[in-house]
Amino acid sequence: MKIASHPIACLALSLAFSTFSYGEAPPVAAVMTQERQQAMTPRDALLRLKKGNDRFVTGRPLHRDLLRGAKLTASGQHPYAAILCCLDSRTAPEQIFDQGIGDVFCARVAGNVANNDIVGSLEYACKVAGAKLIAVIGHSSCGAVKGAVDQVELGELTGLLEKIEPAVQSAEIETGGVRSSHDKILVDRAAADNVVLQMRMILKKSKILSSMLDKGEIALVGGFQDLKTGRVTLIKLKEGGKSGQ
């Protein structure tokens, strides 16, 4: 089935670092409110994530009073973005994007697979709760992708890995590599292609999100996290459905 392409925002990767010096206390992060969320555009939301990743990579996180944040958001939440990422313990989105309690929705599953439950959750995040951005984030050395490459069979995991298979096949063609989880280039290419695959699955499965994207109410972006550096590089859709970085 052919899936209609949608323009995916892709901003320049270089952003100015925080202006405070190492001798000063870092700025205090404010809790996300409904007013601030509603005033945001999808582009604003993406820029906020990118700045957060810059702070993480450069070791300059904002100061957060997490207990105070928990109390202030106890009566309601207004996240500005919904992030679909892998179950991997090294990819916690609140950390790698330097976000606080109430800032972002996080949907986590091995291989950042957009199954029906995940897509329904994203529909809630955007249509009901007002999030302006969906970000699908894959990462280097992904265990789920390695499992898909090696065609692992293990209980319910088998069906999950099958959802990654199209990305593995495209990566084989692109890299010319041997189908093995020891082939790092193949694995990382498949992980990047899988981000695009899951972005397309979100649009295929959800008329609600596809319509919101068409109207400019939300943006849909992909990203690839380098586990060694923490840097997240944006991925955009190219003609023919392949990923481009």
The one-letter code for the residue type at 19 is T
Nearest to 195 by CA among 232, 226, 222: 222
Percent of the chain with pLDDT over 70: 85
The one-letter code for the residue type at 123 is E
Virtual torsion, Cα 232, 120, 202, 199, nearest 10 deg: 10
Question: Do 212 and 126 form a contact (C-beta atoms < 8 A)?
Answer: yes
Question: Do 164 and 201 form a contact (C-beta atoms < 8 A)?
Answer: no
- Cα separation, 15 vs 35, in Å, equals 26
Question: Do 222 and 10 form a contact (C-beta atoms < 8 A)?
Answer: no
pLDDT of residue 65: 82
Instruction: Enumerate residues 6+ apart whose C-beta is below 8 A from 96.
Output: 53, 56, 225, 230, 232
Which residues share a beta bridge with 28? 63
Which residues share a beta bridge with 243? 237
pTM of this structure: 0.85
Which tens digit of pLDDT belongs to each residue from 168-210?
999 999 999 889 999 999 999 999 999 999 999 999 999 999 9
The stretches of 152-233 forming alpha helices (DSSP H) are 157-162, 165-175, 184-205, 207-214
Q: What is the mean pLDDT of residues 126-146?
A: 98
CA angle 56, 20, 64 (to 5 degrees): 55
| C-beta atoms surrounding 42 within 10 Å | 22
Which tens digit of pLDDT belongs to each residue from 205-229?
999 999 999 999 999 999 999 999 9
Q: What is the mean pLDDT of residues 114-135?
A: 98
Nearest to 69 by CA among 93, 103, 36, 39: 103
Domain boundaries, the chain: 34-244
- Cα separation, 111 vs 182, in Å, equals 17
Q: Is the pLDDT of residue 108 over 50?
A: yes
Domain 34-244 part of CATH 3.40.50.620: no
Q: Is the pLDDT of residue 146 over 50?
A: yes
- Cα separation, 236 vs 69, in Å, equals 33
